[in-house]
Amino acid sequence: MLRARNLAHVYEETTVFEGLSIGVEPGEVLAIIGPSGGGKTTLLELLSLSLPPTAGTVSVGGVDAWAADAASRLALRRQVGMVFQEASLFGATVARNVEYGLRIRRSWRARVRDQLSGLWGATETSPAVRDALAVVGMDDQRDQPAGALSGGEAQRVAFARALAYDASVLLLDEPASDLDPRNTAALEAAIEEAASRGIGVVIATHDMHQARRVADRVGVLLDGQITEIGPPAQVFERPTDERTRRFISGELVY
């Protein structure tokens, strides 16, 4: 579904990755673990097609994104959703936030009509929006202003926002890293639901317990390379690479 091959990336004369290959399949949850500052976010940015790699390919559905023209690449980019560590909701209601991805994919005429009808009075919330909010358990707060939400609630809305427009891949950067158990559970349930709908989900996390809970496969990113990749049980209990073993057992200090 989303596949990176031989990815190399150089940032300010530092080689961040070299020869890195990784992919996620529809309906699969892939967790990427590794130390902070180890390049997880950069990897996600490359996968989300918002950053071009120095070398290598990133393909969506088999199409090489950076070899395509700008219009095609935009279409591919729009199949991939990304949720950042900070929710960064817009200054509007929860529903309007979640609706954003849907809105920008419509024609300009439809968008202008939306805006005008929004000015005259409350409009109906579309089913797709409500469904996405229901997945994260926030449907009853859909008319709240985003600023009134707690951090955890905002994070859940951010997930719903990426879910609403039927992306085929979702990339999550440190979801639930600062969340209380209730919000974390809601978010992880949402991740499972997304995967069950055939969406490929990639999570970058330093929380190995979370990786264990939600992931179908775990990739370990160390020294700019995927040192280990496989089901959680294998990676955590029977790592093949020595570096992986030391990282997991906490011996390596980064």
The footprint of another protein (CB under 8 A) covers 48, 50, 74, 77-78, 81-84, 86, 88-93, 96, 100-101, 104-105, 118-119, 122, 145, 158, 161-162, 165
d(CA 129, CA 149): 18
Task: Using the minimum distance from each CB to another protein, give the nearer residue, 66 or 90.
Answer: 90
What does the block give as tokens for 156?
A: 């859940």
**Contact, 76 vs 129, CB < 8 A?**
no
Least Å distance, CB 244 to another protein, is 30
Q: Which of 76/218 has CB closer to another protein?
A: 76
Question: Cβ of residue 91: shortest distance to another protein, in angstroms?
Answer: 6
Q: Which helix (H) or strand (E) holds 201?
A: strand 200-205
Whole-number minimum distance, CB 163 to another protein, in Å? 11
Please, which residue, 42 or 93, has the CB nearer to another protein? 93
Longest Cα–Cα distance of the chain, Å, equals: 63
Q: Estimate the share of the chain in helix, then strand, then coil, as percent rounded to the nearest 5.
A: 40, 25, 35
CB 222 to another protein: min, Å: 26
Q: What is the closest distance, in whole angstroms, from the C-beta atom of residue 112 to another protein in the complex? A: 11
Specify the residue, 6 or 117, whose C-beta has the smaller distance to another protein. Answer: 117
Looking at residue 176, the DSSP 8-state letter turns out to be T
Q: Please report the sign of the dihedral spanned by the C-alpha atoms of residue 41, residue 213, residue 210, residue 38.
A: negative
Rank residues 120 and 237 by Cβ distance to another protein and give the closer one: 120
Cβ closer to another protein: 26 or 145? Answer: 145
Rounded to a whole number of angstroms, the CA Rg of the chain reads 19
In the complex, the smallest distance separating the C-beta of residue 78 from another protein, rounded to whole angstroms, is: 4
Tokens of 167: 């992306």
Residue 7: beta bridge partners?
Answer: 20
The CA distance from 72 to 58, in Å, is: 14
Exposure of 137 in the CB half-sphere (CA atoms within 13 A): 15
